[in-house]
Amino acid sequence: MKLVKEPLVHFLVLAILLFVLEHVFSSTKKEKLIVDEQTVEYLIKQREDLELRELSPEERQETIAAFVEDEILLQRSLQTRPGQGRHTHAPQHDSEDA
């Protein structure tokens, strides 16, 4: 019964409890990123045009993986800046005519 008195055991129990509580109360809603066939074809064609050759199957997978990673990073950055949306053009600033 010496284990019950060990601070390390207390720490481990509290750590496990915190992880369980975080899992229970955290948002379970996960967004899905769907990459359609047109996007895949566009990405592959774009890279093949840049490299002036046909891509190997491994390079095709790397291209798709890089796109997915970029999209995930974009979504995370947009989540950290509430009120900021994806801009398709430069924001217009009002200018004062004097």
Q: What is the pLDDT of residues 46-61, one digit of tens each?
A: 999 999 999 999 999 9
- Spatial distance between the Cα atoms of 64 and 91, rounded to a whole number of angstroms: 30
Low-confidence ranges of the chain (pLDDT < 50): 88-93, 95, 97-98
The pLDDT of residue 1 is 62
Neighbouring C-alpha atoms within 13 Å toward the C-beta of 1 = 0
The pLDDT value recorded for residue 58 is 94
Please report the pLDDT score of residue 29 as a whole number.
63
The SS3 assignment for 36 reads: coil
pLDDT at residue 28, rounded to an integer: 59
**How far from chain centre, in Å, is Cα 17?**
27
